[in-house]
A and B are shown apart, each in its own frame.
Chain A
Amino acid sequence: MEPDLDSTKAAAGNRKHLAMLERLSKRTAATSSADSPEASPVAAFLSRFAAAKAAAESAVSACRSSPDDVAASLAAASSAVDDLERLVAEASHSLPPYELRSALAAVSDLRAAHKLAASEIRPKKSFSFRNKSKATKNPAQDSPPLPQPPPEQPKPNKPNAILPGFGFRSRNGATLVKDLRASNEKDGDFTLADLVSCEVYLKGKCRALYIHKLRDCRVFIGPVFGSVLIEDVERCTFVMAAHQIRIHEARETDFYLRVRSRPIIEDCSGVRFAPHTLKYVGIEDDLRDSGLAEDTGNWANVDDFKWLRAVQSPNWCLVPEEERLPTVDISEVQERDNCN
């Protein structure tokens, strides 16, 4: 009995094993055919697409042949085209570019055909496909090129006429002093523009500072609890503290800074940096109120947007210690020039 049992067991085991192998091979065959990336899903899509396309085409042509029930047939055609588009959209992940392109082209052809049919059958009724109507409109606008350009050209420099805000502008050889703590204006901005050979002393805080076109000036400024934008300065010295400092087109200019973030330069050459050295009675309070009580050391962490590499930019350097300004105390400087 025993050997018999064994042999039947073995036979059963064998059969099982064979069946399992068969199942496995079937499964691998099935998965491999499903997995082969190009062949089957694309083929399946193409056949479904061809069917949907034929349906949409016949729906569109049906519009013309059945003038009695125009609205319904147009709507049916439109939804057939929609179906087609949805089909493409769903398959767009897996489709190779060529198939996708040709499928999209077929969809847009059908849309055009449908639109044409619609406009022929009921020319007045608005079946508006906005993109297409724009596409047909644009060439018409392009041919007379006159109406478009004018809006872009007018009013150059107009805002210059209405420069608002506090500031010193267009001075030569003057000493300009302003104590912002004295004025009632809070959270204002301040502008320095078109100054030549001037000394500028600004005590107190301001919210933003704009500096434009300075030549041979020395500028001492209290804390700015916002950003500073400096453009087009030459042979100047600036001492200031601020949250953000951007320097554009500066040449041969020294900056003594305390800044919360990294100062940046762009289109600059020969600019040098050193730590902040300004004093006046009460500056400690102003610095603290502006979040600038501590020196972060960022005055030396300059980013040069014209030199995005790891090596040191040739456009800036530090002021050698022996050349640095001593601490500048402007407590005694009296206000003597009204700003405009």
Chain B
Amino acid sequence: MGLLSIIRKIKRKEKEMRILMVGLDNSGKTTIVLKINGEDTSVISPTLGFNIKTIQYQKYSLNIWDVGGQKTIRSYWRNYFEQTDGLVWVVDSSDVRRLDDCRAELHNLLKEERLAGSSLLVFANKQDIQGALKPDEIAKVLNLEVMNKDRHWKIVGCSAYTGDGLLQGFDWLVQDIASRIYVLD
């Protein structure tokens, strides 16, 4: 923990946060990032590799790493774990069939020691679709309450298509990270 806290203290001066977006393919990670940045979301190819966006959010500078979710490239997620302050796990709430995969990948990810200190925001995306599972149902299927003790987490329903819920989610995440690493504020 020593090195991590040093890194955090250095970052404190810059008001910078590093946020990692992961989740299964087709969950809407890139769409969320572009939507929150006010960009066109109608032409987005499935992410082959990763995108980085720096967004000014409130008084912080968010470094958002949006990593592709295809099965083939999930094994590369580990390359992006270092120094992550906040983790955003995106779920396609209407893809009920793959929720088992989704849970397995999430819990696999959370075992990672390098992510131990990071806050977790779960976006139950695609809430605009009729028949999408509600956030509390997603939380149950993903078995989120097991980490009540050792992690700050929150699930927020959203639609990257309409933009609903995105700010609410990021507000929580940024506040939670800020209260953890910028103690002097």
Tell me the A residues contacting B by CB distance below 8 Å.
85-86, 88-89, 92-93, 104, 107-108, 131, 151-152, 156-160, 162-166, 185-189, 193, 207-208, 210, 212, 226-227, 229, 243-244, 246, 248, 260-262, 264, 266-267, 291, 303, 305-306, 308
- Given A88-B6, A165-B130, A166-B131; A212-B97 close (CB under 8 Å): yes
- Given A186-B130, A188-B129, A246-B25; A264-B45 close (CB under 8 Å): yes
At the interface with chain A, which of B54-62, B70-78, B81-89, B169-177? B70-78
Report B132 CB to chain A, min CB distance, Å. 8
Count of inter-chain pairs, beta carbons less than 8 A: 114
B42 and A260 contacting across the interface, CB-CB below 8 Å: yes
Contact of A244 among B44, B70, B107 (CB under 8 A): B44
Known: A157-B100, A244-B26; 11 extra A-B contacts, CB below 8 A, are: A85-B5, A89-B6, A151-B146, A163-B96, A165-B130, A187-B130, A207-B161, A246-B46, A260-B42, A266-B70, A305-B70
Closest to B48 in A: A303
Report A240 CB to chain B, min CB distance, Å. 15
A131 vs B1: C-alpha distance when bound (angstroms): 7
Chain B, interface SS category: loop
- Given A107-B2, A159-B100; A261-B44 close (CB under 8 Å): yes
A189 and B100 contacting across the interface, CB-CB below 8 Å: no
Q: Which of under 10, 10 to 19, 20 to 34, or 35 or more describes the interface residues of B?
A: 35 or more
Contact of A208 among B10, B43, B44, B129 (CB under 8 A): B129
Taking the complex as formed, is B52 at the interface, i.e. its CB lies under 8 A from any CB of chain A?
Answer: no
- Can you report 18 residue pairs joining A to B where beta carbons are below 8 Å apart? A85-B2, A89-B9, A107-B2, A159-B141, A160-B96, A188-B131, A189-B132, A208-B129, A226-B161, A243-B42, A243-B44, A260-B43, A261-B46, A264-B46, A266-B70, A267-B71, A303-B45, A305-B71
Taking the complex as formed, is B118 at the interface, i.e. its CB lies under 8 A from any CB of chain A?
Answer: no
Closest to A296 in B: B43
Which residues from A are CB-within-8-Å of B146? 151
B26 and A308 contacting across the interface, CB-CB below 8 Å: no
B46 and A208 contacting across the interface, CB-CB below 8 Å: no
Which residues from A are CB-within-8-Å of B45? 244, 261-262, 264, 303
Which residues from A are CB-within-8-Å of B129? 187-189, 207-208, 226
Closest to B96 in A: A159
A208 and B97 contacting across the interface, CB-CB below 8 Å: no
Q: Type the 1/0 row for B31-68, where 1 means its CB is closer than 8 Å to any CB of A.
A: 00000000000111110100000000000000000000
Taking the complex as formed, is B3 at the interface, i.e. its CB lies under 8 A from any CB of chain A?
Answer: yes
Contact of B72 among A163, A226, A305 (CB under 8 A): A305
Q: Type the 1/0 row for B133-176, where 1 means its CB is closer than 8 Å to any CB of A.
A: 10000000101001000000000000001000000000000000
Which residues from B are CB-within-8-Å of A163? 96-97
Report A247 CB to chain B, min CB distance, Å. 10
Interface-centre pick from B10, B43, B44 (highest chain A CB count, 10 A): B43
